[in-house]
Structure 1
Amino acid sequence: MQAADAGRRATIWGLMILLAMACARIEAPPGGPPDREAPTIRESRPASGSVNLDTRPEFRFEFDEWVNRASLSGELYLSPRHEGGLELNWVGRTLKARPVLPLDSGRTYLLEMGTGVRDLAGNRLASPHRIAFSTGASLDSFAFAGWIGGYRPNAKVMIWAWPLDSFPVRPLAPAPWQTRPDSSGGFRLLNLPETAFRLFAINDLNGDGRWSPATEPAALASADPAPGGYGNVRPSLYLSELELDSLALTAVQPEDRHHLLLEGRLDLPGRPGRAAQLSLLELADTLGRQIPLLTLREEEDGRYLLVCGEMDSLTYWLRFKDGSDSVSFRGLAYTQNPFQGFERPVRLDSKRRLHWLPPRGLKTQARTAAWVGQGSDSEAVVPQFLDALELVWGLPRARAGDTLFLSPGIFEGMAGDTWPASLARFALELPPDVEHGALQLLFVPAPPANTPWRIQLRMGETLLSDRELVSPLELAELPAGWLSAELYFDRNGDGEWTAGQLEPFRHAEARLPLTDSLQVYPGWTREGLELQLPEELSQWNTATP
């Protein structure tokens, strides 16, 4: 009898142990068709858009099926980021979450569940699930959407957002706001404060929630979303490890301190058959400090966006390799004076792109070109393919009232040495449907009266005016067409340019169509165009330059 009781007790204990093991390890039921349906959240509480919540509210997420609870690690997060994290509890298929520490009063938050959450068959959430709420009486309302690519399915991609004025030099730790992309690469950031943001994304390969630059691909967004005029942009990112084996470069276009647009064709993994002429070696500033290359993104028009780390100096060097010879090409990063150092001649097109055209006959020599204001270390080696190349430089996103800075270049090794040592000129395009136009030119700093500097105004080959340079300079009753203006130093004081005296021109050309839409272009104010004169002219020397 005792043996029978002992057997029954052992059987009961065995069943209890099996039941406990079954409860501890929830598995997909065996048999039947494979589960390929993504899990969904049937209900979440409180409702998104709730206001006046307690500073330690409880959130509930009810799933339509059992999920892998371990997959929730790092996939539930508050924006803006809150110290202390969340405490989590499960009741069947319902997840309960509550902030460990009280939230700030009167602030908008977004609780988001990322797409890394999986069901027992390994299917991920199709899109992030969000609850926007406020511990105050209202919600912030700024929002934008974007796209990210360059990663494989099931990658743990994190998109971070900082207010533009607090973006770190090295974005290693998570930002105050973050999100995950959906299954198609789209993402949204919602209920943000009214300020400009900068986006940065990583592929968190080691799962630590931080960026490891040596091993993890990263990307900076193609645009900085901001309320108002720039709030409708769709920033895009492309995660890449920058395996740039070959690059056929035709143009370089800086957009800001982080973005360079490369025009050309490139061999990418899985995309063979592209032309291969140059190999990208490194990106460095003028002090020789290497700038980290973060990502590469293909534009719809075939160009590539190269994203790099913060550039501290005005200029950078892109180093390429052509055969056995290393050559460098010099460009400009965005600063408050974004165009110091441009060479002859440059022009600005209607798409806010600045073009640099090498002078005809430019020779490829060790000292082909030097840049004004940078000292003897500003020499550059120009590759042979620049003989017939137009380099396109994109303007930073500019607003009305910004100043367009144009500085000349000094060239050596011209064909036949027939060019003057330095040139400076600008050109303005008048709309063809305007018979008579008026324009005011503002020079910074304003030239004093009775200087030897004069300005010639031409329409094509026709000389319209030759006058003393003053600021502001009023131009009235201008015919339609291309208006060019040339500065020169009146060496003999006769009030006109004498070619035989080799009075130097200083040449930098910018073409700006005069239309109302130009009020959003650099250099345009309600009064007209403001030009920052080259360094040589800033003192308005009365001596021969």
Structure 2
Amino acid sequence: MRDESVRDVTARRMWVQRLVLVGTALGIAVLMVRCANPVPPSGGPRDRTPPRITASDPAQGAVNVSGRTLRLAFNEYVNRSSLREALTITPFVPGELAFSWDAREVTITFPEPFRDSTTYIVELSTDFSDVQGVSLESPLTFAFATGAKINSGTLAGRVVDGYSGAPQAGVDVLAYAQTSAPAAMAAWPERPDYQTQTGEDGTFRFEYLRETTYYVVALRDNNRNRRPDPLEPMAVPPRVQLPADSTQPPVPVPWLLARVDTLAPTLQRARAESRARTAFVFNEPMQVHRATLDEWTLIDSIAQDTVAIRGVYQQAEAPATVWLHTARMQATPHVLRVPRGGLTDTLGTPIDRERLRFTASAAPDTVRGALQALLPEPTSTDTLGYGALPPRARPRARFDHPVDSTVVRRVVSVQDTAGAAVPYHLTTVDGTEHALHIQWPPGGRVRIVGNPRNRPDTLQVRVRRLPASALGALEGRVMVVDTTWTTSGDSTTAAAPRRADSLNTASDKRSLRGRRWVQMEPTRPQVPVRPRMQPVGSDSTFRFEQLPEGEFSFRAFWDVDGNKRWNPGRLAPYRPAEAAAWSAQPTASRPRWTNVISAPLRIVTLSSSALYDTVYVPQRTPPAHR
């Protein structure tokens, strides 16, 4: 008995010792974590205040500084890894920075002593946060100099979305000094001279710049390499040369941020489905420009015969695939010749080649189009279950492959509320989607029934045509606000805006080439409404009619290149974005009424900005590799 008691006591002691060891190890681990990234005690109200710098050495504005260290003190514990990501020092510091932490302070040691007669700018971007994850609302910036004075140049502006006009926060803004007249160059500069970031309201401000001119680019630098890359949203400056000095006002024209797709769509594979049908699969959604179809040609590479093209179409569920329907082909190599601009991505960039090669299949063509959907699907219905249809809209029957009107009429019927057949005729563009032009019965209500052969159930939509008494109109005005920047000596000032109510009354004819367009977008419609676009009248007014009750927003732009599409510009060679304007708030449409938008759409331009200059960024030695 005594031996068993001794064994029990010994076992309990060993168990307690193990618990002590485990607890000690956990305590050491927690202590190490807290030392790596200190965390304040929990409890109390939630921290919503971003961190700030309480002291620095060198101090803000210090001159004649020497050494190689920079000390920053903060008002609270900060996320140390975020400081490394958010820190930018100008001019660029080659080599590795060393970080030494002491509670709320950090000492940053440069690999070499500070340069002589240089202004250093230290900025923490909005990526910098405290340990609670509260980030800066706008960048923190301070400067010191190793010479007798600090550079005093400033340059400010605003970045907005090019399509909606919404302010863009957290966008990187890069400034490249122009030491000589801009000209074409072989490669983009390896790094910017200065960098900052936009705040919550989309504004940015460079301070402590050398007083010269700059090429200023805004971009969402997703890969953090401080240079514009394909598919990254970016904005070109409203003018190729922007001066910076101590009296510089903000640039009055915003930077318009948009994704600029300079990469041509690439054919990934050609899939021969049959001897009359081939699918071309691309790496992104595509658009077929049907006005060019008469110029498309298909050649049998062996026989050198031309094969008739019966149709080119796409399927809604596979926008990256383009189908080619032809006369019977031999199972030999073929070449499809597509004219320039005949096949593009959704942003208008044409394919990277104009000859698409494939080998046809010998399999018979057994494809038969099947009904996929009846459109539009009502977003809301009345008490009888009928969705409203605006006058310009037509019900549509969508098939997966092209069919003729005989097939549509065999599977789609239109009935009135009593079940009697309602006459209709059909129109189509490519055979996959057919618009139903209905002879509306009294009361304007019909039931559209589809009987697809590939599914046991039927498709059905109920629609009612809106009467004229339920429709209204919206009208407004587009004004040109010509803001002049005049440069005199080393200073630049912004003069009072000059307004031009029409193309004919503007003072700067060169900058007013092109035509103005206005786009209407439903923001809160009670019935489905497609966006519309129309040119602005010669009297600078516009009017959209037959609108159902709801709210609509507007956007105007200056179509300089004449393609009826807003152009976000180009970085190299430089071309400014087409000027644009947006309605400040949606405007409501009322039945049997014409409402006027609350304020004119003001397209702001810089009068001395040449719209077709093909100049580039400052001359710089290109990097050895990208």
TM-score, normalised via structure 1 length? 0.46
Higher RCO (C-alpha under 8 Å, 6+ residues apart)? 2
Q: Which protein has the larger Cα radius of gyration, Structure 1 or Structure 2? A: 2
